Structure 1
Amino acid sequence: MNQIGGFFEMWNPVLLLVVVVVGYVYRRFVAKGNGKSAEVEPVTVVQQLSFYSGLVLFYIGQGSPINYIGHHYLFSMHMLQQTVLYLIVPICFWLGTPAWVLRPLMRNVVFRGLFSFFSRPLIALFLFNMLFSIYHMPLVMDNLMRNDLALLGYHTVLLFTAFMMWFPVFCPIPELNSLNDLKKMAYIFGNGILLTPACALIIFADSVIYDMYANVTVPFAHLSPLDDQQLGGVIMKIIQEIVYGATLAYIFFRWYRRERKEDAELEALENQESMNNQGGNWNRA
Structure 2
Amino acid sequence: MSQIGGFFDLWNPVLLLIVIVIGYCYGRFVVNGSAAKSEPVSISGQLLFYTGLVLFYIGQGSPINYIGHHYLFSMHMLSQTILYLIVPILIWLGTPAWILRACMKNIVFRGMFSFFTRPLIALFMFNMLFSIYHMPYIMDNLMKNDVWLLLYHTVLLVTAFMMWFPVFCPLPELNRLTDLKKMAYIFGNGILLTPACALIIFADSIIYDMYANVTVPFTHLSPIDDQQLGGVIMKILQEIIYGATLAFIFFRWYRRERKEEDELDPIESQEGTNNQGGNWNRA
TM range (shorter): over 0.9
Partners of 2:36 and 2:232 lie apart in 1 by: 48
Partners of 1:223 and 1:61 lie apart in 2 by: 21
Match of 2:30 in 1: 30
- 1:51 is the counterpart of 2:28: no
What TM-score does the superposition give when structure 1 sets the normalisation length? Answer: 0.96
- What's the offset of the Cα at 1:281? 4.7
- What's the offset of the Cα at 1:282? 5.2
Match of 1:123 in 2: 121
- 1:165 is the counterpart of 2:194: no
Match of 2:177 in 1: 179
Partners of 1:198 and 1:48 lie apart in 2 by: 34
Change (3 A) 1:236 1:36: closer
Change (3 A) 1:35 1:216: closer
Match of 2:100 in 1: 102
**Match for 1:92 among 61, 71, 90?**
90
Instruction: Give unmatched runs, 5+ long, in structure 2.
Output: none
Partners of 1:269 and 1:34 lie apart in 2 by: 40
**Match for 1:210 among 208, 211, 220?**
208
Partner amino acid for 1:2?
S
Is the Cα contact below 8 Å between 1:34 and 1:41 reproduced in 2?
Answer: no
- 1:12 is the counterpart of 2:6: no
Deviation string 1:27-76 (CA, Å, 9 cap, x unpaired) is 11111237766xx3221011000000000000000000011000000000
Match of 1:69 in 2: 67
- What's the offset of the Cα at 1:274? 1.5
What TM-score does the superposition give when structure 2 sets the normalisation length? Answer: 0.97
- 1:3 is the counterpart of 2:10: no
Partners of 1:169 and 1:76 lie apart in 2 by: 28
Partners of 1:9 and 1:158 lie apart in 2 by: 23
Partner amino acid for 1:192?
G
Q: Structure 1 stretch 263-272 or stretch 166-175: which is displaced more?
A: 263-272
Is the Cα contact below 8 Å between 2:30 and 2:36 reproduced in 1?
Answer: no
Change (3 A) 1:36 1:30: closer
Instruction: Give unmatched runs, 5+ long, in structure 1.
Output: none
Identity of aligned pairs, percent?
A: 80
